Amino acid sequence: MRVSLVVPPFDYGRMLYGLMNRRAFHNAVPLGILNVGACLREAGHEVHLLDAPGMGIDEAAVVGELRKFRPDAIGVTSTSIIWESATSMCTALKQAFDVPVFVGGPHPSLYPEWCLETNPSIDASCYGEGEETGVELVEALEKGAPLQGIPGICYRGEDGTIHKNQPRIAKRELDSMPLPAYDLADLSLYSAPPMRVRHMPAVYMEMFRGCAYAKCSYCTSASGLKNRYRRHSPEVAAEKVMAMHQRFGVQEVAFVDDDFVVGKDWIYNFCGELRKRGNPISWSCYVRASQVDESIFQAMAAARCHQVLVGMEVLDNELLRTELIKDLTVASAGACIRAAHKANISVIGLFMVGVKNTSPDSVEVTVDTALAQELDIAVFSLYRPPPGSPAYAELGWGPQDYIDCFKLQKQAVYVPDTYNDLSHVEETFRRAYRRFYTDPGYVGRTARKFFSDPIAARNIAKGAMTLADQFRPKFLNPAAAEHDKKVLRVQ
């Protein structure tokens, strides 16, 4: 069967961050749909990928490109952020092609029935892990077989009624999965996020499914991924990394797994397998501060890890314990940074502004603490917990509320009781960035890196330009001026 897989049009830089320079913000390689494409191709189907954001094309151009391929079925992937584009794309595709149209990805996984209820052009939605589901769905469509026995889908019956099948429990071991079909995408179309990647071309990879911790209040893993954690073996993980370089010319991998270091044996063995193979690829990953130490970082650095990302959120022990339910303390965050630096690994700290029961003062303390610990990079985000997380359930939002709240990342959508209003939250957010990146000590440390490391200099310059673009005055930012602010409080 000829299957087209589509990432709908969306300008992430402009729509999420209000950037004037489109290429200042990277468009990520669409890892999820490449996984599905690889499994469909392995099953004998002819697969065509069209990544509209990466290619910079609109809806009409997508339809035009698909006419050349003449698909027998079309799959559209979507997060909640791009759902409005995805549902419009599905309508256009249904009108242009008399073939089944199905959707998958994070948003249909959260709201599989709602996707069909709100758009009659969609024939089926896949929820949960999509590789096995996608293959079974396409094979059923090819044979004209009924869909009621396929786990992990919602579908529209002949009479128009919507049916939801039982959830899928994935049976396939990750080691047996094919490499994502990176050859279906033009890797030259993708740019690196500021301050994240040292070498290009770079791609995202995952070695795990689920989260071994699965308790953080603001994360979907706390409810949706408990008891579903699994991972590649160290040997196969290393082989797949090497294959990325040999087959696709990849120079760097950014691992997207929520927590790359779970159990010392796995990470030591993985790093050892990379060294054994003479790994030429640099890499970065997410870690939990409670799971790492100097010995682990030394092993990672020897295997060419150059950077880790750590969710620090708010550096206040009480808030971390009671509000965010994290196994992190201010002391363990500082120990993680120091241990990484001893191994010559840089640290990106990820923080949230506007969390329930926090205040502008707690954000100020967080920034001061991060600076005192000589954190390399700080990324601040406004609080908007995703569907499926315990914190989201407290907010009482529905599907459309969540779609609306993601219109622009630097505009607040929730006001804790300790803030005056949305603008107070936003000013605290801007002040956190200003305070961190204009600190004299930070500027001095960054200047030394700038003049001693040409790659760091390039990334620092790119990061500075992106921040200046993101926080330019509102009259120069049409996306911000048009955004419809919405006050949502937790009572």
Predicted confidence (pLDDT) per residue in 14-44, tens digit: 656 555 555 434 567 899 999 999 999 999 9
Report the pLDDT value the prediction gives residue 479, as an integer from 0 to 100: 47
Report the pLDDT value the prediction gives residue 130, as an integer from 0 to 100: 93
CA distances from 48 to 122, 178, 215 (A): 19, 17, 38
CA pair distance 490, 220, nearest whole angstrom: 19
Residue of higher predicted confidence among 411 and 330: 330
Report the pLDDT value the prediction gives residue 324, as an integer from 0 to 100: 84
Q: Which CATH class is domain 2-161?
A: alpha beta
Report the pLDDT value the prediction gives residue 38, as an integer from 0 to 100: 97
Q: What digits encode the pLDDT tens for the residues 344-377?
A: 999 999 999 998 889 999 999 999 999 999 999 9
Report the pLDDT value the prediction gives residue 322, as an integer from 0 to 100: 87
Q: Does residue 448 carry a pLDDT above 80?
A: yes
Q: Closest Cα partner for 360 from 302, 421, 273?
A: 421
pTM of structure? 0.87
pLDDT > 70 in the chain, percent: 88
**pLDDT band at residue 450 under the 50/70/90 scheme:** confident
Q: Does residue 229 carry a pLDDT above 90?
A: no
Average pLDDT for 63-80: 95
Q: Does residue 490 carry a pLDDT above 60?
A: no
Q: What digits encode the pLDDT tens for the residues 362-371?
A: 999 999 999 9
Tell me which CATH homologous superfamily contains domain 192-482.
tm_1862 like domain (3.80.30.20)
Q: Amino acid letter at 359?
A: S
Report the pLDDT value the prediction gives residue 24, as an integer from 0 to 100: 39
pLDDT > 90 in the chain, percent: 62
Q: Say if CB 81 and CB 10 are below 8 A apart.
A: yes
Q: Does residue 484 carry a pLDDT above 50?
A: no
- Which of 109-118, 221-230, 349-358, 472-481 is predicted with the least confidence, judged by mean pLDDT? 472-481
Report the pLDDT value the prediction gives residue 458, as an integer from 0 to 100: 78
Q: Does residue 259 carry a pLDDT above 90?
A: no
Report the pLDDT value the prediction gives residue 134, as an integer from 0 to 100: 96
Domain 2-161 and domain 192-482, same fold? Reply is no
Q: What is the mean pLDDT of the chain?
A: 87
Provide the residue ranges of all domains of the chain, joining segments of one domain with +.
Answer: 2-161, 192-482
Report the pLDDT value the prediction gives residue 488, as an integer from 0 to 100: 42
Report the pLDDT value the prediction gives residue 308, as an integer from 0 to 100: 97
